[in-house]
Structure 1
Amino acid sequence: MAKQAERARAGKASGGRTAAGRWKLEDAKARFSEVVRHAREDGPQRVTVRGQDAVVVMSVEEFERLAPAKPRPPFVAFMESLHLGGLDLEREADRGRDVEL
């Protein structure tokens, strides 16, 4: 109980931000631009709901570093995945035009 009161006091003193970049949801909503600034400058910011971590706000650079890159299929596999089997792709024999000179 004493720890919760101490955390609440720390959150109010820092404008809603607690230690280690934690924000209560209502504070994060009210000061979203500050949450974003801290995420870009100080690293990921956690947002809590009823005292439990709910989401993390992080910079796009951090996200791209952590998110696995989607492998690109080879061109042939990509074309086969389009399921174009029903299209008529046969060419007619073209012998040119008869032109009088």
Structure 2
Amino acid sequence: MQPSPHDERSWTVANAKAKLSEVIDRAQSTPQTITRNGKPSVVVVSAEEWQRKTARKGTLAEFLMESPLRGAGLDLERQRDEPRDLSL
């Protein structure tokens, strides 16, 4: 969904430069979109929101153990084909 030019969460690059403090203040509560040539280019979010979105949620092993495919009896045997000839 493309933000409306009059959306209070959408800024052109020029407006964002001129009102950077306001962009930052508003981003503390709502993500702010900066557009370039009328198209969304970047989103400014609070540091707290960024940490929440990028925080690791467990290990790879935990993810695999919690998979709905665990115990589904999938055949994961590796094929034993001959290697391909890569010479030209």
Q: Taking structure 1 as the reference length, what is the TM-score of the superposition?
A: 0.49
> Which has the larger share of helix?
1
Structure 2 unpaired stretches of 5+: 60-88
1:41-96 Cα deviation digits (max 9, x unpaired)? 3x100000000000011001111111142878xxxxxxxxxxxxxxxxxxxxxxxx
Which deviates more, 49-58 or 18-27?
18-27
Q: Which has the higher contact order (CA 8 A, sep 6+)?
A: 2
Counterpart residue number, 1:48: 35
What RMSD in Å do the two structures reach over aligned CA positions? 2.3
Structure 1 unpaired stretches of 5+: 1-5, 8-17, 73-101
Q: Percent identity?
A: 36
Q: Number of residues paired by the alignment?
A: 56
What residue identity is the alignment partner of 2:18?
A
Q: Taking structure 2 as the reference length, what is the TM-score of the superposition?
A: 0.55
What residue identity is the alignment partner of 1:53?
P
Query: Runs ≥4 in structure 1, deviation > 6 angstroms?
Result: none
Bigger CA radius of gyration: 1
